[in-house]
Amino acid sequence: MSLYKGLATPLIGCIPINAIVFVVTEWAKKELEKVKPEMSSFSRSMYAGALAGFCSLAVFVPGDLLKCRKQMTKEGNMSYVAETQNIIRQQGLSGLYRGFWASALRDIPGWAVYFGSFDYLKSKGDAICSKYSSD
């Protein structure tokens, strides 16, 4: 069972993280189009993805911290609520964001590349489809 220890947190955390990432990305792309209409779609997607990655850290970092603590627990059961309260009591609210910059260095460029690549490949796929479907 130790293989699955700490798995609930990332599974539950995926829903709000993905909601944040996709909502922020679409919002940021629309705002960038208004403010910088000359910016390429690829660049807009990269910047929007980077912003979305930054915003997702608000949920991701505390969840990842709790997941790691659960995996390190020797006892069979760790209460996420009790552990969260313990962290806040001992370290303050900032204790939940321990490791923030390490995660930021991974996630911000990661989401930028993800959305930039998606936009680029989608544009190439659209061009190929329109070339062959115009017949």
Domains and CATH numbers, the chain: 2-133 (1.50.40.10)
**21-30, 31-40, 63-72: segment of lowest average pLDDT:** 63-72
pTM, rounded to two decimals: 0.81
Sign of CA dihedral 27, 33, 35, 40: positive
Residue 56 pLDDT more than 60? yes
Contacts of 52 by beta carbon, 8 Å cutoff, 6+ apart: 20, 21, 22, 24, 25, 28, 111, 115
* pLDDT-based confidence at residue 10 (cuts at 50, 70, 90): low
pLDDT of residue 129: 85
For the ranges 10-19, 22-31, 61-70, the maximum mean pLDDT occurs at: 22-31
Tell me how far CA of residue 111 lies from CA of 15, 49, 114, in angstroms. Answer: 16, 5, 5
pLDDT of residue 135: 52
> Each residue of 65-122: pLDDT tens digit?
998 888 888 777 888 899 999 999 999 999 999 999 999 999 999 999 999 999 999 9
